[in-house]
Amino acid sequence: MKKPIYVTQPHLPPLAEFIPYLEEIWESKCLTNNGPFHKQLEQALCEYLGVAHLALFTNGTIALITALQTLRIVGEVITTPFSFVATANSLLWNGLTPVFVDIDPESCNLDPDKIEQVITPRTTAIMPVHCYGRPCDVERIELLADTYGLKVIYDAAHAFGVQYKKESLLTHGDLSVLSFHATKVYNTFEGGAIVCPDAKTKRRIDYLKNFGFADEVTVTAPGINGKMSEINAAFGLLQLKYVDDAIASRGKIDALYREGLSGIKGIKCLSEPEDTVRTFSYFPILVEDDYPLRRDDLHHALRKEDIYTRRYFYPLISDMPMYRGLPSANPTNLPVAKRLSQQVLCLPIFPALDFGIAESIVDTIRRMQA
Ligand SMILES: *Cc1c(COP(=O)(O)O)cnc(C)c1O
């Protein structure tokens, strides 16, 4: 029997290289609470990513929830329906009202032309997503935020290491949130981070992720437990040694797919975003009307060959039971997101993916067309 190929496979460094880190933890008996590996990883990630300050978290979702607390966001928050459900869930966990805005068909991100018309006196923030690591229109979003006095929190879970106009994409907005989940470009098993521009904000985030403790006896805010453990932080330090190689391998798969799929009628790869150094977190294709199979049929046909693609992002967040009653969740309000959610299919992409298998995936997609 053939081994199934999933859309992603987590990158793991050689186990033997992790043992010395574990020995150090056993020696120090420091397991969590801003221990030595935690401090080192925050520093190392700031340098690697080219950002000023970064606070590690136990996962990306708690980081999103805490980012909203950090800026004391209230009322309505403009966001995208074309994302992983954690984006909007973080708003509900803060008692906020998501306001869904349609996406741009090229970028798959919030359409900046459609944001202004939904701003009300209750709007306090925008939470865009750099979907598939493709940069949002950060300039226009910043202009809107400045004009209307809104905060911007980017869900940057797909944008680890992405550079835009020769700078880290994560320097845009008031805060950016990363995920280091097993399925992401860079993983710490579970993990996440908030990137912020100044030391004062970093201090508030650090209080919030540690129950609100400012010192031994002072609790300044109703914080949460969002701390990353020493095991995860140590693993993150080891992973950093391999992440450039991992991204380079992903880039080769991306190029292979682009080349191989280019002649297939009805299969569309997304354009390469301008001024962007990519890290290839996903490989979405659009299955359009002139392909003989519908997207779901292709998804199931590939599954029969033990190739497990994923329909990111279907269903739309705005179609889920917690959200579909909102006025902004009305599908007629979100035609582009609706269409893309019915056409998109993410192909397997991960550092260990064999080129021969990637080629056979392309061949299978071509064969179905013949
Ligand atoms: C993965 C992901 C998250 C959640 O991150 P976790 O670390 O799994 O909690 C949030 N938003 C988006 C867009 C994601 O892809």
User: DSSP readout, 264-307?
Assistant: -TTEEEPPPPTTEE-----EEEEE-TTSSS-HHHHHHHHHHTTB
Same domain? For 165 and 113 the reply is yes
Residue 277: inside a domain: yes
- pLDDT for residue 203: 97
Residue 77 has pLDDT above 90, yes or no: yes
Average pLDDT, the chain: 97
Per-residue pLDDT of 79-94, as tens digits, reads 999 999 999 999 999 9
The CATH number of whichever domain residue 93 belongs to comes to 3.40.640.10
**Ligand 1 atom having least distance to the Cα of 131:** 13
The token duo for 362 is: 């392309």
Range of the domain at 351: 244-367
Q: What is the pLDDT of residue 3?
A: 84
Q: For ligand 1, atom 5, which residue shows the shortest CA distance?
A: 60
Contact assessment for residue 45 and residue 240, using Cβ atoms and an 8 Å cutoff: yes
Residues 219 and 263 in one domain: no
Residue 135, classed as helix, strand or coil, is: coil
Do 41 and 91 lie in one domain? The reply is yes
Q: What is the pLDDT of residue 80?
A: 98
At 282-310, the pLDDT tens digits run: 999 999 999 999 999 999 999 999 999 99
The preferred substitution site among 56, 162, 179, 317 for testing ligand 1, maximizing ligand atoms within 8 Å of CB, is 179
Contacts of 39 (CB under 8 A, 6+ apart): none
CB atoms near residue 300 (< 10 Å): 12
In a domain, 7, yes or no: no
CA 62 to centroid of ligand 1, rounded, Å: 10
Question: Quick one: what percent of the chain has pLDDT higher than 70?
Answer: 99
- Residues lining ligand 1, CB < 6 A? 59-61, 83-84, 86-87, 129, 155, 157-158, 179, 181, 192
Residue 5 maps to a domain: no
pLDDT at 359: 96
Give yes or no for residue 2 having a pLDDT over 80.
Answer: no
The size of the chain, in residues, is: 370
| Number of separate domains in the chain | 2
Tell me what the mean pLDDT of segment 54-79 comes to: 98
Domain stop point among 199, 224, 239 = 239
* Bridge partner residues of 54 (DSSP): 195
How much is the pLDDT for 31?
Answer: 98
Same domain, 224 and 345: no
Label residue 271 by pLDDT band (50, 70, 90): very high
Answer whether residue 230 is part of any domain: yes
Q: How far is the CA of 71 from the centre of ligand 1 (A)?
A: 20
Q: Check whether residue 220 and residue 256 sit in a common domain.
A: no
Confidence of residue 162 (pLDDT cuts 50, 70, 90): very high
1 lies in some domain: no
Helix (H, G, I), strand (E, B) or coil at 260: helix
pLDDT of the residue at 286: 98
**Same domain for 159 and 209?**
yes
> Which pairs with CB-CB distance under 8 Å and at least 24 residues apart come from 289-297?
290/265, 290/266, 291/264, 291/265, 291/266, 291/267, 291/369, 292/266, 292/368, 292/369, 293/368, 295/342, 295/343, 295/344, 295/345
Mean pLDDT computed over 325-345: 98
Give mean pLDDT, residues 332-351.
98
In this model, does residue 370 exceed pLDDT 80? no
CATH number of the domain that residue 319 is part of = 3.90.1150.10
Between the two ends of the chain, the Cα-to-Cα distance in Å is: 26
> Is residue 197 domain-resident?
yes
Mean pLDDT, residues 254-259: 98
Examine the pLDDT at 42 and tell me if it is beyond 70.
yes
Tell me: do 264 and 160 sit in the same domain. no
Cα–Cα distance for residue pair 278/238, rounded to 1 Å: 22
The closest of 239, 128, 154, 224 to 190, measured between CA atoms, is 239
Q: How many helices (H) and strands (E) does the chain have?
A: 11, 13
Query: With 90 as the cut, is the pLDDT of residue 369 above it?
Result: no
Q: Is the pLDDT of residue 1 over 70?
A: no
Residue 309 lies in a domain: yes
Q: How far from chain centre, in Å, is Cα 344?
A: 17
- Asked if residue 286 and residue 342 are part of one domain, the reply reads yes
**Atom 10 (ligand 1) nearest CA:** 86
191 CA closest ligand 1 atom index: 7
Same domain flag for 44 and 163? yes
Write phi, then psi, for 76 (nearest 5 degrees). -105, 140
Domain final residue pick, 194, 224, 239: 239
Asked, for residue 4, whether it belongs to a domain, the answer is no
CA of 160 to the centre of ligand 1 (A): 12
> Which conformational region is residue 128 in: left (phi greater than 0), alpha (psi within -120 to 50 degrees), or beta?
beta
181 and 58 co-located in one domain: yes
- Say if residue 82 is in the same domain as residue 216: yes
* Domain boundary, last residue among 212, 239, 266: 239
286 shares its domain with 217: no
Report how far residue 81's alpha carbon sits from residue 84's, in angstroms, rounded to the nearest whole number. 9
Query: DSSP strand E in 116-208: where?
Result: 123-127, 151-155, 163-164, 167-168, 175-179, 192-196
